[in-house]
Amino acid sequence: LSPFFNETVYCLGVERLLGIEAPARAQLIRVLTMEINRISSHWVWLATGGMELGALTAMTNGFRAREKCLDVFEMITGLRMNHAYVRPGGVAQDLPEGYDEKIRDWIKEMRVELGGVDKLLRGQTIWVNRLKDVGWIGVEGCIALGVTGPLLRAAGLPWDMRKTEPYLGYETFDFEVPTDDRGDCWSRFVVRVAEMHESLKIIEQ
């Protein structure tokens, strides 16, 4: 689900050991691909969660939106998954010609898809009832179990490595760290959707 994150964290480790730093453009490309990947990963979460809850339209729409993310990955790397694109010292190749127009079109499509999530799910009684007050875990429980990411932020702690220990120039971007304080499945839904909006802001920048 997160190939660009896996590739990048490995390469950052190698680069730290070698005492080198990727060029600024390569760092920006890494950020770009990781934020598209974050959105793609959240779509899979929404789609599979919808499938398990019987919300089949959430599933089909979620995977449709994810396919659009994979289209962008294929345009950039030549592959839809298992990219081997991020390499120690930079990336495998520069962005292809016309990438900016393709990504701007994709951003518009993602905003339409996210608008559909709000219309389809946010006020839908069955969806709300199946998520609210279900699967609760608080901040203390998250920390005790080593839980991070959207689950920790959905419990109320705004811990995000991009803000707390910035890397790849994340400190130069304007974005928020969405949180909620319920600590339940509803909060995780709210936080992940909000994170997709914030990732789009980063990608635009």
Give the pLDDT mean for 42-69: 96
Q: Which residues is 90 bridged to in the sheet?
A: 87
Tokens 């050991």 — which residue?
Answer: 17
Collapsing DSSP states into helix, strand and coil, what is residue 86?
strand
Residue 188 has pLDDT above 90, yes or no: yes
Q: Within a 13 Å sphere around the CA of 109, how many CA atoms are in the beta-carbon half? A: 19
Share of the chain above pLDDT 70, in %: 100
- Give this prediction's pTM: 0.95
Share of the chain above pLDDT 90, in %: 99
H and E: helices and strands count for the chain: 9, 2
Q: At residue 133, what is the residue type?
A: D
pLDDT tens per residue across span 132-167: 999 999 999 999 999 999 999 999 999 999 999 999
**How high is the pLDDT of residue 192?**
98
Residue 1 has pLDDT above 90, yes or no: no
What the block records as the tokens of 29 is 């490309």
**How high is the pLDDT of residue 167?**
96
Q: Between the CA of residue 190 and those of 71, 154, 169, 176, 181, what are the distances in Å?
A: 26, 8, 27, 14, 11
Q: Report the alpha-carbon distance of residue 142 to residue 137 in Å, rounded.
A: 7
